[in-house]
């Protein structure tokens, strides 16, 4: 896909690494395959996608890379350990890569949404949602649209000086 895009357009401006999975299993019962699948999808997928577009972005001296992390990657939440580790790894990946490639005009940032009204949150038990809302200063779940608006800003030219940052969008938890 990247080779086709590069051949047809000669540039790739934006990459949003948004592939991710979750799985509710305690560490004591987790199989190595569970850990590997989580890391492969959430971290290795971002690595491979980023590596695929990087030469084009560096050649063009422009690019915006955004990694979808999670509040579970920045705060101590009751969430599966391998999910927390993977989302935290994306933040480390973001910071390290931002420092490495910033001189080429390519920015790398991350976004860490809290619990939203769609997606992964559909699998969060009601009592855990209620607990989250008890800590959320806005008293409600976020929306996919709110996160999408933040994503649109982060990959836009209006965001030309932020690099290596993780923007938390959690309603004030």
- Residues tagged active-site: 83
Task: Report whether 86 contacts 38 (CB < 8 A).
Answer: yes
Say how many CA atoms lie within 13 Å of 20 toward its Cβ. 22
- Quickly tell me which residue has 């987790």 as its tokens: 30
Distances (CA, A) of 85 to 148, 156, 171: 24, 28, 22
Give the other-Cβ count within 10 Å of 40's Cβ: 15
């Amino acid at each position: 896909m990247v080779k086709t895009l590069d051949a047809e357009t000669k540039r790739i401006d934006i990459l949003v690494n948004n592939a991710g999975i979750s799985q509710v299993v305690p560490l004591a019962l987790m199989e190595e395959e569970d850990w590997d699948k989580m890391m492969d999808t959430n971290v290795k997928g971002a690595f491979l996608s980023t590596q695929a577009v990087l030469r084009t972005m560096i050649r063009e001296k422009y690019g915006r890379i955004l990694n979808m992390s999670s509040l579970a990657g920045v705060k101590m939440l009751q969430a599966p350990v391998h999910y927390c580790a993977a989302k935290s790894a994306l933040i480390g990946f973001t910071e390290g890569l931002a420092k490495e490639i910033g001189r080429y005009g390519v920015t790398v940032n991350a976004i860490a949404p809290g619990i939203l009204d769609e997606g992964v949150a559909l699998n969060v038990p009601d009592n855990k949602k209620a607990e989250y809302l008890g800590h959320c200063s806005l008293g409600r779940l976020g929306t996919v649209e709110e996160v999408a608006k933040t994503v649109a800003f982060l990959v836009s030219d209006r965001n030309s000086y932020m690099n290596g940052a993780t923007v938390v969008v959690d309603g004030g938890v």
